[in-house]
Amino acid sequence: MQPRIVSIGDISVDVISAAVTFPVVAGEHQQVARASMEPGGSSNFMIAAARLGLQVTALGVVGADGIGPMVLQALADEGVATAAVRVQAGGTTTVVNVLVDAGAQNVFVFAHGTGPQLTLEADWCAAIDGCAALMAWGYGLQEQRLRAPMLVALEYAHAQGVPVYFDPGPDLQGFEKLDVARILKCTHAVLLTEDELPLLSGGQAGAAAVQTILGQGPAVVCVKCGAAGSRTYSRSSQHLQNGYAVPVLDTTGCGDTFAAGFLYAAVHAWPPAQQAMLANAAGAAKAAKLGTGRQVPTLAEIRQLLQANGAALPWPA
């Protein structure tokens, strides 16, 4: 059996319009080349992780609004366990309008889901018990109904010895109100971009920010650098891993797919260099595809990219 991981928060739907011409101007109308609706947010991570072979359990909340059940069905079709996701009558699902131009630039226009306040209940604790890792998303912490149980879930996982991985996401309104020290105290590894480092380090950047974050609890900080690859830091070492060149169609969901590769390698105890190789390849394979959700790369596509670049990894027999 492959290891089981849990993802908490940020279950959304993406409404994707490709190839938009920027700027989008009020009163002017455009016809796009393609429009689609896909599971978004952490769904990219969960589908990619399941395709890599991991057992994946989803924790979070959607609305009983037609959109939420559609997202959960798509996840279930990909092998993700969704029974513990709350479906709130009268609640709404987070919706993200994704505009992508021909140069792979994108803009997100979103509305966080709303509904009754949630609490951490026994079935969520049971899902966390014994799992190989818990992946938590800063986007999920932006949902008022989900913030409190998410924070308690991180503390519960940490107390149970479950490694917590955290991706803060970009600097959204209200992030400064989060108890960053509380989050980092529970976190084993942080996955973020260079631009996001100040969110977790009191406004610092670069190497100083990394050291500040490592000093607050995490054992690992992985900085995602896009096409340039990634940099992984521990308290005693750092590893730089080059990226993989691909024709870029859409960078939406690349960070989520990167995280799936990183966690797959981490829970299989691969060394840092191989963790970064798989994560970079997963993110690059996503960049070469248009769309999110079910458009994230397959295992075969990721392995083909690695093989084309002469990268050998210790896949289970």
Digitized pLDDT (tens) for each residue of the chain, 317 residues in all: 899 999 999 999 999 999 999 999 999 999 998 999 999 999 999 999 999 999 999 999 999 998 999 999 999 999 999 999 999 999 999 999 999 999 999 999 999 999 999 999 999 999 999 999 999 999 999 899 999 999 999 999 999 999 999 999 986 666 767 789 999 999 999 999 999 999 999 999 999 999 999 999 999 999 999 999 999 999 999 999 999 999 999 999 999 999 999 999 999 999 999 999 999 999 999 999 999 999 999 999 999 999 999 999 999 87
Residue 236 domain flag: yes
Domain of 269 in residue numbering reads as 4-11+40-89+116-308
Gap between the Cα atoms of 299 and 285, Å rounded: 10
Residue 94 domain flag: no
Which CATH number is 156's domain given?
A: 3.40.1190.20
Residue 179 is predicted with a pLDDT of 86
Residue 1 is predicted with a pLDDT of 81
Residue 314 domain flag: no
| HSE value, Cβ hemisphere, 13 Å, CA-based, for 311 | 23
Residue 174 domain flag: yes
Please state whether the predicted TM-score (pTM) of the whole model is above 0.75: yes
Backbone angles phi, psi at 252, to 5 degrees: -60, 130
Q: Do residues 48 and 301 lie in contact, with contact meaning Cβ atoms separated by under 8 Å?
A: no
Residue 27 domain flag: no
Residue 172 is predicted with a pLDDT of 62
Residue 198 domain flag: yes
Locus of tokens 């190497």: 207
Residue 214 domain flag: yes
Closest residue by Cα to residue 189 from 258, 286, 283: 258
Locus of tokens 């308690």: 152
Closest residue by Cα to residue 291 from 79, 40, 24, 31: 40
Residue 284 domain flag: yes
Q: Do residues 32 and 290 lie in contact, with contact meaning Cβ atoms separated by under 8 Å?
A: no
Residue 145 is predicted with a pLDDT of 96
DSSP H or E stretch at residue 167: strand 164-167
With the C-alpha atoms ordered 107, 13, 191, 155, is the resulting torsion angle positive or negative? positive
Backbone angles phi, psi at 145, to 5 degrees: -70, -20
Give, as one character, the DSSP assignment of residue 118.
P
- Rg, the chain, Cα only: 18
Q: What's the number of domains the chain is made of?
A: 1
